[in-house]
Amino acid sequence: MLGHIMLGTNNLVKAGEFYDALLAELGAARNWEDSTFIVWGTEEDPLCFSITKPYDGRRATPGNGTMITFRAQSQEQVGRVHAKALLLGALNEGAPGYRGPEEDGFYAGYFRDLDGNKLNVFHFTPPTRLGTAN
pLDDT of residue 1: 57
- To the question of domain 5-124 being in CATH 3.10.180.10, the answer is yes
Give the distance, in angstroms, between the CA of residue 34 and the centroid of all CA atoms in the same chain: 21
Is 118 within 8 Å of 65 (Cβ atoms)? no
Is 40 within 8 Å of 19 (Cβ atoms)? yes
Rg from Cα positions in the chain = 16
Where in the chain are the domains?
A: 5-124
pTM of the model: 0.83
Query: For the segment 50-90, what is each residue's pLDDT rounded down to a tens digit?
Result: 999 998 999 999 888 889 999 999 999 999 999 999 999 99
Q: 127 falls in which pLDDT band (50, 70, 90)? A: confident
The two most distant CA atoms of the chain are separated, in Å, by: 56
